[in-house]
Structure 1
Amino acid sequence: MFNLRDGNNPDLRRRVLTGEISPEKLITLSAEEMASDKRKQENNHIKEKALFDCERGLAAKASTEQFKCGRCGQRKCTYYQMQTRSADEPMTTYVTCVNCDNHWKFC
């Protein structure tokens, strides 16, 4: 019922009213099948990005507000650490701003 009343998804309501989707089939549709075309594109983009990141084998990232972006001034960042120098040296921290995608590192 909520999906039929959703103002962001007029296509579902139209498809039901025109008979393209029968009421019997409507109750068995998944959330993906009921989504608007715009939402389906967004979901596909999210899936492709997740698959791309997974295939690249990126290091696990943690979110924090500990760092401040020098470009936009926001504190929403992700970071990961990697040992890039000898074992007696500190780890290198790689930080990415979630807001403007600015990257920086420090030791």
Structure 2
Amino acid sequence: MKYKNRVRSRISNLKDAKNPGLRRNVLCGAITPQQIAVMTSEEMASDELKEIRKAMTKEAIREHQMARTGGTQTDLFTCSKCRKKNCTYTQMTRATGISADPFNI
């Protein structure tokens, strides 16, 4: 079954109209049959898809770092401890079982 899935993946990637570079490289011999047999989906992806994945990775890293660095400063909230409006907040998502809803800390 795993072999069939890998073959389907190769065929799908070679037929992809958004990825003519892969097909061209295989047809002209730049990528050998042995190479395409062991390529990962990331290696076969089109340049456009690689850029999208790269942007998504950067965004995920940025969001993760924002949560770790303390959030966003604002004067829209009043601190319940010191009563000042110089606050930092972080928006997080909590799973409630039905849907994820944002809340502020």
User: TM-score band, normalised by the shorter chain?
Assistant: 0.5 to 0.7
CA distance in 2, matches of 1:11, 1:2: 14
Moved beyond 4 Å, runs of 4+: none
Higher-Rg structure is: 2
TM-score by length of 1: 0.58
Q: Distance in 2 between matches of 1:9 and 1:78?
A: 37
Please say if 1:13 is aligned against 2:58. Answer: no
* Equivalent-residue separation in structure 1 for 2:49 and 2:42 (angstroms): 9
Aligned partner (choices 85, 92, 96) of residue 60 of structure 1: 92
Q: What CA distance in whole angstroms lies between the structure 1 residues aligned with 2:61 and 2:29?
A: 36
Unaligned 5+ runs, structure 2: 1-10, 68-89
CA distance in structure 2 between the partners assigned to 1:15 and 1:61 by the alignment = 44
Distance 2:92 2:28 in 1: 48
TM (norm. structure 2) is 0.59
Instruction: Provide the alpha-carbon RMSD of the alignment.
Output: 2.1
* Structure 1: tracts of 5 or more residues without a match: 64-76, 83-107
**Structure 2 partner of 1:80:** 103
Q: Report the equivalent of 1:43.
A: 53
Q: How far apart are the structure 1 equivalents of 2:48 and 2:24?
A: 15
Q: How many positions carry a matched residue from both structures?
A: 70
Normalized per residue, the structure richer in helix is: 2
The secondary structure found in structure 2 opposite 1:60 is strand
Aligned residue number for residue 75 of structure 2: none
2:21 is paired with a residue whose SS is: helix
